[in-house]
Amino acid sequence: MKTFEQLKQQAVAIRDAVNKNENSAERVGAHLLDTVEKMESLEITDVAEAVLEAEAAAAEAKKQADIASQSGEIAQKAKEQGDIAEQKGNEADAAAQRAK
């Protein structure tokens, strides 16, 4: 039985064929049969498990993206607070210089 990679390569070869009669009924039909056989060999539990794994991976990716976004917001707030503190410090220094 062909692997998914082999089926993909076969499909690309059929898609990219340019010579007359290169994609014969036998060639295209054989590819279709190979594909159906591969699909039939898959257990529904394998497919369901793959879907669940993909959903879990997507959820984890979203969680990581949310954390990264929140981290960026926190860093921005910290920078703003630092800028304000620096400005206040400069104002205090200027006031102290004037008071002398």
Percent of the chain exceeding pLDDT 90 equals 29
Q: Give the whole-angstrom CA distance, residue 64 versus residue 48.
A: 24
What's the pTM? Answer: 0.45
Q: Which of 27, 35, 32 is nearest to 2 (CA)?
A: 35
Task: Please answer whether residues 35 and 1 qualify as being in contact, where contact means their C-beta atoms are separated by less than 8 angstroms.
Answer: no
- pLDDT exceeds 80 at position 100: no
Label residue 96 by pLDDT band (50, 70, 90). Answer: confident
Helix (H, G, I), strand (E, B) or coil at 21: coil
Task: Tell the residue number behind the tokens 């991976």, with chain if given.
Answer: 57
Q: Which one-letter DSSP state was computed for residue 86?
A: H
Q: Which residue has the tokens 């793959």?
A: 50
